[in-house]
Chains A and B, each alone.
Chain A
Amino acid sequence: MSVSLGGILALGAGYLAMVFLCALAVERGWVPPRLIRHPGVYSLSLGVYASAWAVYGSVELASRIGYGYLAYYLGVSGAFLLVPVMLVPIQRLARTYQLASLADLFAFRFRSRWVGTLITLITLLAILPLLALQLKTFGDAIHRLTGAGSPIMLALILCLPIALLAIMFGARHSHLPVRHDTLLAAIAVESLVKLAAMLALGGVALYGVFDGPNDLQQWLTGPGLDLQARVARLETGQWRTLLMLFFAAAFLMPHMFHMTFTETPSRRALLQTGWSFPLYLLLMALPVPLILWAAQRLGIDTSASGAAYLAFDISTSPWVDGLAFIAGLAAASGTLIIVALALAGMVLNHLVLVAHPPGNRPNLYRWLLWLRRGLIVAVILGAWLFYRTVGIKHDLADLGLTAFVGIAQCLPGLLAILYWPGANRKGMVCGLVAGSTLWLLGLWLPLVADYSPLVLVPPGLDWLRDEPPWYAVTLIALYANILIFILVSLVTRTSEGERAAAEACSVDAVIRPKRLPLTARTGEDFKPLLAEALGSEVAEREVESALAALNLSSRDGRPYALRRLRDRIQANLSGLMGPSVAQDIVDRFLPYQSRSQATDDIHFVESRLEAYRSRFTGLARELDGLRRHHRRTLARLPIGLCIFDDDGELLMWNEALSRLSAVDGESIIGSHRDDLPAPWAELLARMHDEPHAYLYKQAVALASELRYLTLHKAVLDPEEGDRGAVVILVEDHSELKWLEDELLHSERLASIGRLAAGVAHEIGNPITGISSLVQNLRYDTEDPQVLESAEQIQQLTQRVSRIVGSLVGFAHGGRHVQGTRFVPVELRRLSDEALHLIRLARSGEDIIYDNFCPPGLKVMGDAQRLLQVLINLIGNARDASAPGSRVTLDASAREEWVLLSVTDEGHGIDESIRDRLFEPFTTTKPPGEGTGLGLPLVYSILREHHGDIQISSPPPDQTFGTRITLWLPRTLQDDSNADEPDSDR
């Protein structure tokens, strides 16, 4: 006895304190969250599977059946290699419906609270031997190390800190499915410690007892060969049965279900366990035979009853004893904590709450929390009592195998949940009761009551009488279970509720969830309804929590949204009180409208298909690809498209329609047509009721402006069991409408223009007459005043002739009169004349005109046409100017160009029409005052002169007004006679 009792208890207390501090560090945020949520930490936490059986029981088993001990590790490794096929579907179910235990899953699938109760009872009976095994190893290990103390009392001492740790880090919330980072981290640390301790023990055996791997191999093929030959070999059937038992334990054991499905940080982390957890188990299994062989090498009798604790004998060092003790303590404490948590939840949801529904009680959350904590303590004390009365008398293998065979009775039911939608409650219960009864009679009761196993061997299987009881009971119980399950399921009727749940659970079922409208109209209505069951405070909190999780508004009245809200509330209540109670509450207080006809929930089906996309193969994958292609085509169609179901529920609102309406499809899909935002509800209802298949150019006031929409409708009649639908296409014809209006306007103006040209032609004749008469008058008088008047009349008649000529020219395609010769034109004289003519007009008399054009600056051009340009521009400037403001003309030379500018201080040009100024009929003047032909004419003339025009409004050196700058080709040629603006053409 190398270690004192006080010392070993201090070591144990120190270890548990270290685990507590690690968990505390995580809770206080001293450890980076990224590290806690790393998939590796989750994989380590699954090491809770490696209980005290893995540390002590495996050595005992290896001493009896050699490599057969590996079944414990290989069975569960096989289950984790099938993570994507088996564990991910269960995890998805557990997460979606907030199912925290095997009993929750069974109660949800088979739609019966009694099924949950039955599973809880069987799990409770099955797990007690396993819990007793953990306590037994602790008490026995200390007793073996120290020779002092009673193993039973030592085990009781362990119960206290275990219960405290379980409550502190696993029962902080009333919702069981809430992830506990602290718990996850604590269990991961425990797994790491036991792995390190086991590897260290293996190292001691390999290099302390043997002289390395080669020495071990030589011993095995030499002196150790006889010892190995004496070890019994497992028969093929027994080996396979063991593998199957441990395979089932991977997801049926309450602690494994809890860690694998409730504490999963992400799907990615779960998928990674497919190789990381088997690797962990490989490392845990590796030292087991090394310890056994080392003990054999040292001459220790490994066939004696204490073979489980051989690790304490391979060295005389207290450090090695301490390592073996810590490995066992880490394994036992982790399993005890998680099993206690999981079982407490199961007992609460499926025994306590079923017997005493919570009702409308104040402080419901607190009541549930304390109930759960009390149950954790009760489970641990129950385990101790079982150990004290039963476990103390049996070895580890008997206790462990009884537990694993018992829990395996749930395997047929679980496989049916995933792969057999036809299974029903009656079949499952009959099979489970039959299998469990055979197990109780064959293994559990003999353990408790200490009598010979009662193995009921059916006729024809007499060979089983000679087999070990665990093997015979496993085969008979499971065969009976499966056979009865299948037969009863086939001959009895499955309820609608079960069928729906089976579809939700089944991996390959054709999921066609039905939808019914709820009696509640909005999310807000849920609160008073639920308050009847839960009290107003809890109801408010649950509804708000579900709304927040779904990112919905409490005023959202979409049937689809309300159904999702109801499902979410049911799932959340399931996490709080178990699926049975949760279903009772929502069925009673959040009912569907009873007179409505159930229809397929296509939107939900689509979201499910999207979620399961990666799992399709072959034809299903092809079909899904085709579905996605068609959906994408509709979604990205450049024309607005919406689809309504027969009952007016919106199924699709594509991207083009979202852009046109400025309403996001996600926010309204699932709404009824009448609940759509204005003006869509009224417009689409009108289209729906319209006998014709179209509505042409409907004026619709959208947020920004008036738009003209054309709607087309296609009614899809129901066929082959599929429901009908109404497809509506929405085309925006606003541009087309505006173009049509513009065309009509232009046509009207063109008619006026043709009329004006005709009138102008008619005016030409009298003007010619006036011109001739003025010529005569000039010859007939010498009165200077009369001569000046005659001169001015002559100029004006010439101008009228030019205007008439230009108007006719514009009417004939905007070309000026042919035959004009470009000559040097002096801008100063040209601008003076333009101003002179402008001043003759009565309007604009109070405008100040400044002409800063320098004399001598010339351009090449047609003086008449350029004069017309200037008159137009100055006239525009005058019309835009307020009385008393200035209109300035200026000119300057720049290389081969002359820049002539007309600047006013008027109201400027509106930006919206600036780009269209040179288009005909564009005007800034009030209706009736401008034709919109002036600037197009100016532009046309400038293009004839190879010049350009530039508009600044306002000019850079002014805060208002407009400056129009003409770029004209400069000439240096001096031809003073050629630039006479009044020259006749």
Chain B
Amino acid sequence: MYIYRIMLFLVFGGYLLSPQLMSGWVEPGAAWYRPFLIWGGLIALSVWLEQKRKLDER
């Protein structure tokens, strides 16, 4: 359940900060794949939390 809270924090935190993230994506000279890298990182974190959740609920 603590992991669920981490997820809630991540999603709503990301929601609130997303405009700032977005302004970073469109900076001139920024790598075009930067948004996808951040997104991929979030997915990797989600996979890790899912593994933790399984262990927690075992």
The answer to whether the Cβ of A271 comes within 8 Å of any Cβ in the partner chain is yes
Q: Of A66, A84, A279, A621, which contacts B7 at CB under 8 A? A: A84
Taken together as a complex, chains A and B put the C-alpha atoms of A239 and B2 apart, in Å, by: 29
CB contact under 8 A between A81 and B10, given known A66-B26, A217-B32, A614-B1? yes
Chain B residues with CB under 8 Å of A278's CB are: 39, 42-43, 46
Q: Of B11, B22, B28, which contacts A225 at CB under 8 A? A: B28
From 1 to 45 in chain B, residues with beta carbon under 8 angstroms from any chain A beta carbon are 1-4, 7-8, 10-11, 14-15, 18-19, 22-23, 25-26, 28-29, 31-33, 35-36, 39-40, 42-43
Q: Of B18, B29, B35, B56, which contacts A243 at CB under 8 A? A: B18
Whether A282 pairs with B31 at a CB distance below 8 angstroms is: no
Taken together as a complex, chains A and B put the C-alpha atoms of A74 and B43 apart, in Å, by: 11
Whether A234 pairs with B22 at a CB distance below 8 angstroms is: yes
Taken together as a complex, chains A and B put the C-alpha atoms of A234 and B22 apart, in Å, by: 9
The answer to whether the Cβ of A305 comes within 8 Å of any Cβ in the partner chain is no
Q: Of A74, A228, A229, A289, which contacts B18 at CB under 8 A? A: A74
Taken together as a complex, chains A and B put the C-alpha atoms of A234 and B42 apart, in Å, by: 23
Chain A residues with CB under 8 Å of B25's CB are: 67
From 200 to 237 in chain A, residues with beta carbon under 8 angstroms from any chain B beta carbon are 213, 216-217, 220-221, 225, 228-229, 233-234, 236
CB contact under 8 A between A282 and B39, given known A234-B22, A243-B18? yes
CB distance from B57 to the nearest CB of A (A): 4
Nearest A residue to B44 via CB reads A275
The answer to whether the Cβ of A616 comes within 8 Å of any Cβ in the partner chain is yes
Task: Bits for A280-306, please: 1 = Cβ < 8 Å to B, else 0.
Answer: 001001100100010000000000000
Whether A78 pairs with B11 at a CB distance below 8 angstroms is: yes
Whether B50 pairs with A275 at a CB distance below 8 angstroms is: yes
CB contact under 8 A between A67 and B36, given known A78-B15, A84-B7, A282-B43? no
CB distance from A859 to the nearest CB of B (A): 70
The answer to whether the Cβ of A272 comes within 8 Å of any Cβ in the partner chain is yes
The answer to whether the Cβ of A70 comes within 8 Å of any Cβ in the partner chain is yes
Chain A residues with CB under 8 Å of B22's CB are: 67-68, 234, 239
Task: Bits for A228-263, please: 1 = Cβ < 8 Å to B, else 0.
Answer: 110001101001100110000000000000000000
Chain B residues with CB under 8 Å of A220's CB are: 32
CB distance from B6 to the nearest CB of A (A): 10
Whether A213 pairs with B39 at a CB distance below 8 angstroms is: no
Q: Of B7, B26, B39, which contacts A85 at CB under 8 A? A: B7
Whether A70 pairs with B19 at a CB distance below 8 angstroms is: no
The answer to whether the Cβ of A617 comes within 8 Å of any Cβ in the partner chain is yes
Chain A residues with CB under 8 Å of B39's CB are: 74, 77, 278, 282
Whether B11 pairs with A82 at a CB distance below 8 angstroms is: yes
Nearest B residue to A290 via CB reads B32
CB contact under 8 A between A272 and B50, given known A220-B32, A243-B15? yes
Chain A residues with CB under 8 Å of B50's CB are: 271-272, 274-275
Taken together as a complex, chains A and B put the C-alpha atoms of A78 and B47 apart, in Å, by: 14
Whether B1 pairs with A67 at a CB distance below 8 angstroms is: no
Whether B14 pairs with A274 at a CB distance below 8 angstroms is: no
CB distance from B47 to the nearest CB of A (A): 5
A interface residue count range (under 10 / 10 to 19 / 20 to 34 / 35 or more)? 35 or more
Chain A residues with CB under 8 Å of B36's CB are: 282, 285-286
CB distance from A163 to the nearest CB of B (A): 37
Size of B's binding interface in residues, CB under 8 A: 33
The answer to whether the Cβ of A615 comes within 8 Å of any Cβ in the partner chain is yes
Chain A residues with CB under 8 Å of B32's CB are: 213, 216-217, 220, 289, 293
CB contact under 8 A between A78 and B43, given known A70-B35, A85-B8, A220-B32? no
Whether A275 pairs with B26 at a CB distance below 8 angstroms is: no
Q: Of B1, B8, B35, B42, which contacts A617 at CB under 8 A? A: B1
Nearest A residue to B25 via CB reads A67
CB distance from A91 to the nearest CB of B (A): 15
Taken together as a complex, chains A and B put the C-alpha atoms of A215 and B52 apart, in Å, by: 41
Interface centre among A216, A225, A274, A617 (most CB of B within 10 A): A274
Chain B residues with CB under 8 Å of A233's CB are: 23, 26
Chain B residues with CB under 8 Å of A239's CB are: 18-19, 22
Taken together as a complex, chains A and B put the C-alpha atoms of A510 and B47 apart, in Å, by: 32
Nearest A residue to B54 via CB reads A271
Nearest B residue to A281 via CB reads B39
Whether A614 pairs with B56 at a CB distance below 8 angstroms is: yes
Taken together as a complex, chains A and B put the C-alpha atoms of A428 and B49 apart, in Å, by: 35
Chain A residues with CB under 8 Å of B53's CB are: 84, 271
Taken together as a complex, chains A and B put the C-alpha atoms of A446 and B14 apart, in Å, by: 34
Chain B residues with CB under 8 Å of A279's CB are: 43
From 17 to 71 in chain A, residues with beta carbon under 8 angstroms from any chain B beta carbon are 66-68, 70
Taken together as a complex, chains A and B put the C-alpha atoms of A216 and B31 apart, in Å, by: 10
CB distance from A224 to the nearest CB of B (A): 10
Whether A240 pairs with B18 at a CB distance below 8 angstroms is: yes
Chain B residues with CB under 8 Å of A77's CB are: 39, 42
Interface centre among A228, A275, A293, A616 (most CB of B within 10 A): A275
Taken together as a complex, chains A and B put the C-alpha atoms of A289 and B32 apart, in Å, by: 9
Taken together as a complex, chains A and B put the C-alpha atoms of A621 and B2 apart, in Å, by: 12
Chain B residues with CB under 8 Å of A293's CB are: 32
Whether B40 pairs with A282 at a CB distance below 8 angstroms is: yes
Taken together as a complex, chains A and B put the C-alpha atoms of A216 and B56 apart, in Å, by: 44
CB contact under 8 A between A213 and B33, given known A74-B18, A240-B15, A279-B43? yes
Whether B11 pairs with A81 at a CB distance below 8 angstroms is: yes
Taken together as a complex, chains A and B put the C-alpha atoms of A94 and B37 apart, in Å, by: 35
CB contact under 8 A between A81 and B46, given known A67-B22, A67-B26? yes
Taken together as a complex, chains A and B put the C-alpha atoms of A244 and B11 apart, in Å, by: 11
Taken together as a complex, chains A and B put the C-alpha atoms of A278 and B1 apart, in Å, by: 21
Taken together as a complex, chains A and B put the C-alpha atoms of A234 and B25 apart, in Å, by: 13
Taken together as a complex, chains A and B put the C-alpha atoms of A81 and B5 apart, in Å, by: 11
Taken together as a complex, chains A and B put the C-alpha atoms of A463 and B21 apart, in Å, by: 25
Taken together as a complex, chains A and B put the C-alpha atoms of A275 and B54 apart, in Å, by: 14
CB contact under 8 A between A275 and B31, given known A78-B15, A233-B26, A615-B1? no
CB distance from B51 to the nearest CB of A (A): 10
Whether B18 pairs with A85 at a CB distance below 8 angstroms is: no
CB contact under 8 A between A614 and B15, given known A234-B22, A282-B43? no
Whether A67 pairs with B35 at a CB distance below 8 angstroms is: yes
CB distance from A201 to the nearest CB of B (A): 16
Taken together as a complex, chains A and B put the C-alpha atoms of A81 and B43 apart, in Å, by: 8
CB distance from A296 to the nearest CB of B (A): 13
Chain B residues with CB under 8 Å of A78's CB are: 11, 14-15
Chain B residues with CB under 8 Å of A74's CB are: 18, 39
Taken together as a complex, chains A and B put the C-alpha atoms of A584 and B58 apart, in Å, by: 41
CB distance from B2 to the nearest CB of A (A): 6
Taken together as a complex, chains A and B put the C-alpha atoms of A805 and B22 apart, in Å, by: 113
From 594 to 628 in chain A, residues with beta carbon under 8 angstroms from any chain B beta carbon are 614-617, 621
CB distance from B10 to the nearest CB of A (A): 7
Task: Bits for A634-649, please: 1 = Cβ < 8 Å to B, else 0.
Answer: 0000000000000000
Taken together as a complex, chains A and B put the C-alpha atoms of A271 and B18 apart, in Å, by: 25
CB distance from A229 to the nearest CB of B (A): 8
CB distance from A905 to the nearest CB of B (A): 67
Chain B residues with CB under 8 Å of A213's CB are: 32-33
Interface centre among A84, A216, A228, A279 (most CB of B within 10 A): A84
Whether B57 pairs with A614 at a CB distance below 8 angstroms is: yes
**Beyond the given A81-B46, A213-B33, could you list 17 further A-B residue pairs with CB under 8 A, ordered by the A residue number?**
A67-B22, A67-B26, A67-B35, A70-B35, A78-B14, A81-B7, A85-B8, A213-B32, A216-B32, A228-B26, A233-B23, A240-B19, A274-B46, A278-B43, A279-B43, A282-B36, A615-B1
A-B contact pairs, 18 of them (CB 8 A): A66-B26, A67-B22, A68-B22, A85-B8, A216-B32, A217-B31, A221-B29, A234-B22, A243-B15, A243-B18, A271-B53, A274-B7, A274-B46, A274-B50, A275-B46, A286-B36, A289-B32, A293-B32
Q: Which 7 A-B pairs have the closest CB atoms?
A: A236-B19, A275-B46, A617-B1, A614-B57, A275-B47, A78-B11, A85-B4
